[in-house]
Structure 1
Amino acid sequence: MANWLVSNYRVSIQRACRCVKLVRAMYYYKHHRRDDTLLTMRMKEIANTRVRYGFRRIFVLLKREGFSDNHKRVYRIYKASGLNLRTKRPRRSRSADHRLERLDTQAINKVWSMDFVQDALFNGERFRVLTVVDNCSKICHGLLAGKSLKGIDVVKELSRICLVEGCFPQRIQCDNGSEFISKEMDLWAYSNGVTLDFSRPGKPTDNPYVESFNGKFRDECLSVNWFLSLDDVRRKIEDFRWEYNHFRPHSTLNDLTPKEFVNLHHETPETLLSTV
């Protein structure tokens, strides 16, 4: 408005600002967008080397290094860069890390995913199934069914799978369920050099491989079977696991079965990149 008065009525800037009740400092103010590249790069470096440092500690370190940006600007960049952490970390989770980049899944038995699925018997009694899948080959390593599964049950099942496979994964992706953050689970992971990669609360997309498998498991097994007992559950889900691993083609594996994909990779490892 002040510019319009100056250009059309040839009045001074001082008089135009007084007419529209505008402070002259605001009239002369020019907004300059600051470059956030250097600040963003340094924040990411600190976050990558000190993964449990939150916004406040990162802000203090930036101040120590001579950055003059205020806390509001730093927090805006902190959020925009996706560096915000969970507000509460599972206790005793020495092997947990929440700001890890997702590992390359083009290697068998490098990254596993696990989760729980719930269903009921014919009489309404609830039961749960622990699902464990390999992110690369999509093979289902185990389906453990029980009415009350605890952390020690998860440990026993993972130990059995590792014994069969002859190796331990580098990382296991899972949610923050009580069984996965238990002392037994944490001790097993720490003792065997396995990192527990916890999903963010309310973010099932952080663990897409097991979520995809769970959808197929429910659609092709749990929803089409009538379970009479827990033994009946175990028999039927093991039949499904065999069919899933040895018979069911997987579109992301060029319509190979997970077992065929594993065998092909073991015979000719160089073909892995061209298969996925």
Structure 2
Amino acid sequence: MRMIGLSESTYYDRKKRVAYPLVNTSNTKKGRPYPGYSLTKTGQKVSDEQIKEWLLELAEGEEHVYGYKLLAQCLRNEHELILDKKKSYRLCKELGILHKQREKKNKHPRRLAKNRLVTEPNQLWQIDIKYGYVAGRDRFFFVLSIIDVFDRVIVDYYRGPVCEAKHACQTLWRALEKRIKAGGALPVIRSDNGPQFVSTLFGDTCESLEIVHERIPPRSPNMNAYIESFHSLLERDLFSKMDFMTFDEAYEAVDRYMDFYNNRRMHGSLKRMPPNPFSEWVMQLEDRTIFHKAL
């Protein structure tokens, strides 16, 4: 070793490494965890769930011919979103919309929403997701709400740090148990093209319940106007006025607002009555012609 200029410590150290290589036996992924949001050029935080919804809308529209790189460019152009190709690939992979995976046929083909005449409660429900922000944790939380188009009642809702297809199904089940009597007619469920609503689980649930689930075309939020309007109220009356430090604080505030909205907040299109009292008033009318004259 002296002849070749190699020290004994170096030789034995390398020999030990060959005999006992360092192996990472854990399956945990190293590195910084995903933050769960991206920024716009103005510094606004946009949750990954919102980005996924935008990606799905693009995949359902004429941009379906694009790969993940051009889809990211579309979001940069339309929303001024700072989104690199690596994150676009990851989100597209999670959604299953990479081109190599698009050969799979959807088990539940999309049923497009159509204009409906709503004359009574429980004929048409709209469902959607709103994103809130917990400043103290620098994380988003989710509010999934179901509204009855006729009386504007929030039939049921979910709030949590994640919102998956199973949460949408559980919320729908609770809403049906609250509002639909045994043997009663089931409502039509209308949603956008969010990943929770295009999932196989949500489609299987609606099929097993024999519920018609229709989805609005991409970029047509006006066809889901009632739930969009409610979520704009939630943003204006609550989210924009409070900074939440913990998830529990945010959930308690959402619970209070839901109770206020359903039971005490007057609604201009409901004869200046809150949704629940209005619904009870309508159900007490034996002759529905009186109701329509009253409106």
Contact 1:253/1:275 (8 A) holds in 2:
no
SS of equivalent to 2:170: helix
Q: Spell out, residue by residue over 1:43-84, the C-alpha distance to the aligned partner (whole angstroms, 9 max, x if none).
A: xxxxxxxxxxxxxxxxxxxxxxxxxxxxxxxxxxxxxxxxxx
Measured in 2, the distance between the counterparts of 1:181 and 1:272 equals 37
Q: Spell out, residue by residue over 1:209-247, the C-alpha distance to the aligned partner (whole angstroms, 9 max, x if none).
A: 111111111111111222222222221111101110111
What's 2:133 paired with?
120
What's 1:251 paired with?
268
Measured in 2, the distance between the counterparts of 1:121 and 1:221 equals 13
Measured in 1, the distance between the counterparts of 2:133 and 2:149 equals 28
1:225 corresponds to which letter in structure 2? Answer: M
What's 2:256 paired with?
239
Give the deviation of 1:164 after TM superposition. 1.7
Query: Is the counterpart of residue 192 in structure 1 residue 206 in structure 2?
Result: no
SS of equivalent to 1:207: helix
What's 1:4 paired with?
none
Query: Is the counterpart of residue 160 in structure 1 residue 174 in structure 2?
Result: yes
Measured in 2, the distance between the counterparts of 1:198 and 1:259 equals 27
- Cα distance, 1:115–1:135 mapped onto 2, change above 3 Å: same
Match of 1:228 among 245, 270, 277: 245
What's 1:273 paired with?
292
Give the deviation of 1:142 after TM superposition. 2.3
Give the deviation of 1:147 after TM superposition. 1.8
1:172 corresponds to which letter in structure 2? Answer: I
What's 1:139 paired with?
153
Contact 2:264/2:274 (8 A) holds in 1:
yes
Gaps of 5+ in 2: 1-102
What's 2:230 paired with?
213
- Cα distance, 1:189–1:90 mapped onto 2, change above 3 Å: farther
Gaps of 5+ in 1: 1-87
Measured in 1, the distance between the counterparts of 2:291 and 2:158 equals 29
Contact 2:156/2:174 (8 A) holds in 1:
no
Measured in 1, the distance between the counterparts of 2:133 and 2:213 equals 29
**Which stretch shifts more, 149-158 or 226-235?**
226-235
2:115 corresponds to which letter in structure 1? Answer: R
What's 2:107 paired with?
92
Measured in 1, the distance between the counterparts of 2:105 and 2:124 equals 21
SS of equivalent to 2:125: strand
Give the deviation of 1:275 after TM superposition. 4.5
Contact 1:170/1:195 (8 A) holds in 2:
yes
Q: Spell out, residue by residue over 1:95-133, the C-alpha distance to the aligned partner (whole angstroms, 9 max, x if none).
A: x421x5322222101110011111210232111110111
- Cα distance, 1:238–1:213 mapped onto 2, change above 3 Å: same
- Cα distance, 1:125–1:275 mapped onto 2, change above 3 Å: farther
Give the deviation of 1:92 after TM superposition. 1.6
* Structure ID, larger Rg: 1
**Which stretch shifts more, 134-143 or 159-168?**
159-168
Measured in 1, the distance between the counterparts of 2:254 and 2:139 equals 17
Identical positions, percent: 18
Measured in 2, the distance between the counterparts of 1:267 and 1:189 equals 30
Measured in 2, the distance between the counterparts of 1:229 and 1:274 equals 48
Give the deviation of 1:272 after TM superposition. 3.3
Contact 1:145/1:233 (8 A) holds in 2:
no
Contact 1:92/1:183 (8 A) holds in 2:
yes
- Cα distance, 1:89–1:119 mapped onto 2, change above 3 Å: farther
SS of equivalent to 2:127: strand
